[in-house]
């Protein structure tokens, strides 16, 4: 019967697998790494919080697609938490960690990746449901969307906890990997192959959907006299999703390939030399997503900009309005979600650019 090593600290496993834990990370180099990581993590927290707040604040975003987009931002926010925990539990500190603390460190990263991946898969299903009917938004109810979001996080937490639940090498250290010294190599192969296959499936699905939308839009444009914005909106949403998916695949694929090579026990692949750079690339994905949302969606950017820049103006306007008789200053031109296809993302004129849904409050 194999001996188990649950009571050992991580230095035992790092020394056995000859894993470099960067003992030379001291002084200016360590401070630089911490400052660099802290800056990006703060940006991740603030920007993704703005995305979530924009979806909550703007009634034009109260549809399944944007709820799922907000959940993707929540996954990126969670990734920021995972990276903060990693920053203070890596380098020379890694060898001093207990087995449970190391499992927690890696579990947070695995959970954030799974949450983003499953969320993108659910968005693909939602886009397929709507696009096949040539609608901007699907008919998913809020209860179903809530159930999907809960399911996404349940799956993510479970996948992040799989090694802790038993698929590790603590009782058979001959199968321990190099990059993750208490993960079994068979688990790394399973984990990386599963994610890469899902990447490939989603890319194929989104390309097929996008080609279908383009074909249908070109056909309808020659037979209908509807507004140009109504015909282009499904394409714009698809471009946003495909850009997000493309960034996700580009940022995570190198790291997954390295894990796969390590799981296959490729001793000549130099995985130790590139692991930190690929982890940084994965971190950048959570930085890029909010930028993509704001760049690709004018309404999202307008809402976020108002929340950032116009809070003081809104407060001063509220003080002025309290001194004069109540008057309806503006009214949104889109008061019902049922007519979103007929007037998607219409601008409203209200003072100096207040949101239309403020007029309904």
The dihedrals phi and psi of 225, each to the nearest 5 degrees, come to -115, 20
Q: Assess contact for 21 and 276: CB atoms under 8 A.
A: no
Check residue 296 and give its pLDDT.
76
Check residue 222 and give its pLDDT.
59
Q: Assess contact for 111 and 159: CB atoms under 8 A.
A: yes
Number of Cβ within 10 Å of residue 322's Cβ equals 8
Check residue 220 and give its pLDDT.
63
Planar angle of CA 235, 341, 219, nearest 5 degrees: 50
DSSP state of 184: B
Check residue 27 and give its pLDDT.
60
Q: Which residue, 298, 288, 300, 289, is CA-closest to 232?
A: 298
Check residue 286 and give its pLDDT.
86
User: CA–CA distance from 177 to each of 6, 170, 186 (Å)?
Assistant: 17, 11, 9
Q: Which residue, 82, 73, 70, 96, is CA-closest to 37?
A: 82
DSSP states along 116-160: HHHHHHHHHHHHHHHHTTT-SS----HHHHHHHHHHHHHHHHHHH
Q: Assess contact for 177 and 262: CB atoms under 8 A.
A: yes
Rounded to whole angstroms, the Cα distance separating 75 from 50 reads: 14
- Two tokens at 134? 């040539």
Instruction: Walk along the chain (361 residues) and give the pLDDT tens digit of each residue.
Output: 567 888 888 888 888 876 655 544 556 666 777 787 888 889 999 999 999 999 998 888 888 888 999 999 999 999 999 999 988 888 778 888 999 999 999 999 999 999 999 998 888 888 777 777 666 666 778 888 999 999 999 999 999 999 999 899 898 888 888 888 899 999 999 999 999 999 888 888 888 887 777 777 677 665 555 544 455 556 677 777 788 888 888 889 998 999 999 888 887 777 777 777 888 888 888 888 888 887 777 888 888 888 887 654 555 454 454 444 433 333 333 433 333 333 333 333 333 344 344 444 3
What does pTM read for this prediction?
0.77
User: CA–CA distance from 182 to each of 57, 125, 140, 169, 267 (Å)?
Assistant: 45, 36, 42, 5, 17
Collapsing DSSP to helix, strand or coil, 336 comes out as: coil
Q: Assess contact for 200 and 36: CB atoms under 8 A.
A: no
Q: Where are the alpha helices (DSSP H) in the chain?
A: 10-17, 27-57, 64-87, 99-131, 142-165, 185-221, 228-263, 271-296, 298-309, 311-321
Check residue 190 and give its pLDDT.
94
The dihedrals phi and psi of 323, each to the nearest 5 degrees, come to -95, -10
Q: Assess contact for 109 and 55: CB atoms under 8 A.
A: no
Query: Architecture of domain 10-221+234-309 in CATH?
Result: Up-down Bundle (1.20)
Beta bridge partners of 98: 9
Q: Which residue, 307, 277, 290, 250, is CA-closest to 75?
A: 290
- Two tokens at 292? 């993509």
Specify whether the backbone of 180 is left (phi greater than 0), alpha (psi in -120 to 50) or beta: beta
Domain chopping of the chain, boundaries: 10-221+234-309
Rounded to whole angstroms, the Cα distance separating 25 from 50 reads: 34
Collapsing DSSP to helix, strand or coil, 192 comes out as: helix
The dihedrals phi and psi of 356, each to the nearest 5 degrees, come to -65, -30
Check residue 301 and give its pLDDT.
83
- Two tokens at 304? 């976020």
B/e letters for 345-358, b = 16+ CB within 10 Å, e = fewer, are bbebebeeebbbbb
Check residue 336 and give its pLDDT.
37
The dihedrals phi and psi of 61, each to the nearest 5 degrees, come to -100, 5
């Amino acid at each position: 019967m194999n001996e188990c090593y649950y009571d050992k600290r991580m230095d035992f496993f790092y020394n056995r697998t000859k894993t470099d834990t960067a003992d030379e990370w001291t002084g200016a180099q360590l401070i630089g790494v911490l400052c660099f990581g802290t800056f990006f993590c703060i940006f991740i927290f603030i920007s993704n919080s703005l995305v979530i707040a924009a979806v909550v604040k703007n009634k034009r975003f109260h549809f399944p697609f944007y709820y799922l987009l907000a959940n993707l931002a929540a996954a990126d926010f969670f990734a920021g938490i995972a990276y903060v925990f990693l920053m203070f539990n890596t380098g020379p500190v890694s060898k001093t960690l207990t087995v449970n603390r190391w499992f927690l460190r890696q579990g947070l990263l695995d959970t954030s990746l799974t949450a983003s991946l499953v969320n993108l898969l659910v968005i693909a299903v939602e886009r397929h449901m709507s696009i096949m009917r040539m609608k901007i938004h699907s008919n998913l109810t809020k209860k179903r969307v809530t159930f999907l979001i809960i399911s996404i996080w349940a799956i993510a937490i479970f996948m992040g906890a799989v090694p802790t639940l038993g698929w590790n090498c603590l009782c058979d250290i001959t199968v321990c990997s190099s990059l993750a010294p208490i993960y079994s190599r068979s688990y790394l192969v399973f984990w990386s192959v599963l994610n890469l296959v899902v990447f490939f499936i989603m890319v194929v699905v989104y390309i097929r959907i996008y080609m279908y939308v383009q074909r249908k839009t070109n056909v309808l444009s020659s037979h209908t006299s509807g507004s140009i914005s109504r015909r282009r909106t499904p394409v714009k949403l698809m471009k946003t999703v495909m850009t997000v998916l493309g960034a996700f695949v580009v940022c995570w694929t190198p790291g997954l390939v390295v894990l796969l090579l390590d799981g296959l026990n490729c001793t000549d692949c130099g995985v130790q030399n590139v692991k930190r750079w690929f982890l940084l690339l994965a971190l950048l994905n959570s930085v890029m997503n909010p930028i993509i949302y704001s760049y690709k969606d004018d309404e999202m950017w307008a809402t976020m900009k108002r929340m950032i820049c116009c809070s003081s103006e809104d407060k001063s306007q509220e003080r002025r309005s309290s001194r004069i008789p109540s008057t309806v200053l503006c009214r949104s031109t889109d008061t019902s979600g049922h007519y979103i296809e007929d007037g998607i993302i219409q601008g409203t004129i209200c003072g100096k650019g207040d949101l239309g849904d403020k007029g309904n409050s």
